[in-house]
Amino acid sequence: MARFFRRGRTKVWFAPTIASAALIPTAAEVNAGTNLTPSIADIAGFAFTNSPIATPDLASTFTATIPGEDTAEDSTLTFYEDTTTNTLQTTLAKGVSGYIVIFFAGIAGASPAAGDKAEVWPVQSTGPRREYSMGNDPARWAVGLTPSAPPNFSATLT
């Protein structure tokens, strides 16, 4: 695949349920959710890391490491505020659990379909919060999302 510019291509959905324990969603499950893409102003987090463990031994001055615990940092989606509706604030209300499905390279058609590739992040919402500013910028709100299980980085929709 050629290099690409993420804006205008990457798509983000919130799916309330995914039946597969392997976090492989169906197109129907994703399409039954909410397309967050048009309202997203910024994305932060959605990073998975490992904390290696040092394993020094007396036979060498080199300190080798082995993989340690995996962690996923808390993430944030920032949205533009809307004066007429708060549908997304209800969808992502505090305590809501579900799945953030990120189509990192886009989707083939107008909506997610079988064969589209995505990352699937099981999350719980920490609740919406408004962002206030005196600057010359649009009104925005953000929602924190805490990971509840390891993500699937290479899901292909069925």
CATH number of the domain that residue 82 is part of: 2.40.30
34 lies in a domain? yes
Examine residue 75 and state whether it is found in any structural domain, yes or no: yes
Position 1 pLDDT exceeds 80 = no
Q: Does residue 78 belong to any structural domain of this protein?
A: yes
Domain membership flag for residue 6? no
Considering the chain, what is the average pLDDT of its residues?
94
Q: Do 88 and 79 meet the contact criterion of CB atoms below 8 Å apart?
A: yes
1, part of any domain: no
**Domain of residue 117, residue span:** 11-156
> Does residue 66 form part of some domain?
yes
Dump pLDDT digits (tens) for 119-130. 999 999 999 999
- The pLDDT > 90 percentage for the chain reads 85
Measured distance CA(41)–CA(140) in Å, rounded: 8
The whole-number pLDDT of residue 83 equals 87
The count of structural domains within the chain is 1
d(CA 91, CA 129): 14
Q: Is residue 5 part of a domain?
A: no
Cβ atoms 112, 13 nearer than 8 A:
yes
Q: Please write the tens of the pLDDT for every residue from 72-129.
A: 989 999 999 988 888 999 999 999 999 999 999 899 888 999 999 999 999 999 999 9
Nearest to 95 by CA among 117, 120, 125, 57: 125
